[in-house]
Amino acid sequence: MGRKTLLQVEGATKIYRQGQVEVPALRGVDLHLERGAFAALVGSSGSGKTTLLNLIGALDRPTSGRIVLEGKDLGALSASARARLRRDRIGFVFQAYNLIPVLTAFENAEMVLALQKVPRDERRRRVLGLLREVGLTGLEHRRPDQLSGGQQQRVAIARAVAPNPALVLADEPTANVDSHTAERLLDLMQRMNEQDGVTFLFSTHDPRVIRRARRVIRLRDGRVEADEVQGGAQAGEEPAAP
């Protein structure tokens, strides 16, 4: 992997079994992602987007092929090593938010840092700063049921980036919010990408996300149909840092 290459997917296939029937979800996917990318996986339902995101997120293993993140072959890691990698190097933003109902916004955003045993003062400083950045100052002590959908998704974004992961995976992050909130969430993630260098990979149907992505990877029937970099760069490259 090159110095700037964060992720390499090499010939990834995934086959599910339904009784005696084999159902291929991915068919030999190859792609790489650079550090600092703002990229979207695009395709109709059944194209393989979520399956590929799950493999990249170390939530599942490929039937064949390799997923290499920061030089580590995810399929070769033990279960405990994969769990540590998910905790420390991958942030997840889910369309259903996946916040813990009994915890406050602060506690949800702090959760991974607490699991990492980051000192309390450092956790407080980092989480309050992130909640301020996502526009939730004054709402730190509210539980999810006291927050709007857009506010819950902002907590989820803060939680995802709090441990400074190598990669943030966002699965349909604008699906359950209105258009205005979606644009504000995209503003937030784009700012984190451009100013803080956070790497984002989206799985999406949303044209608003696709328009903003610097790279669009189109899947069809488990294969990469097109891989396009928007804004004049060549496929597989990211625009130079300012």
Beta strands of 35-166 (E only): which ranges? 38-42, 64-69, 72-73, 90-94
The residue whose two tokens read 């949303």 is 206
- What structural domains does the chain harbor? 5-229 (3.40.50.300)
Beta strands of the chain (E only): which ranges? 5-18, 21-34, 38-42, 64-69, 72-73, 90-94, 167-171, 200-204, 215-220, 223-229
Ramachandran quadrant class, 93 (left: phi over 0; alpha: psi -120 to 50; beta: rest): beta
**What does the pLDDT read at residue 147?**
95
Output the CA angle 137-140-143, nearest 5 degrees: 135
- Separation between Cα atoms, residue 222 and residue 107, nearest integer Å: 38
Pairing mode, strands 200-204 and 215-220:
unpaired
Pairing mode, strands 5-18 and 21-34:
antiparallel
Pairing mode, strands 5-18 and 200-204:
unpaired
Total-model pTM:
0.88
The residue whose two tokens read 């709090």 is 162
pLDDT tens, N- to C-terminus, the chain (242 residues): 555 899 999 999 999 988 889 999 999 999 999 999 999 999 988 899 999 999 999 999 999 999 999 999 999 999 999 999 999 999 999 888 899 999 999 999 999 999 999 999 999 999 999 999 888 999 999 999 999 999 999 999 999 999 989 999 999 888 888 888 888 889 989 988 998 889 999 999 899 999 999 999 999 999 999 999 886 333 344 443 33
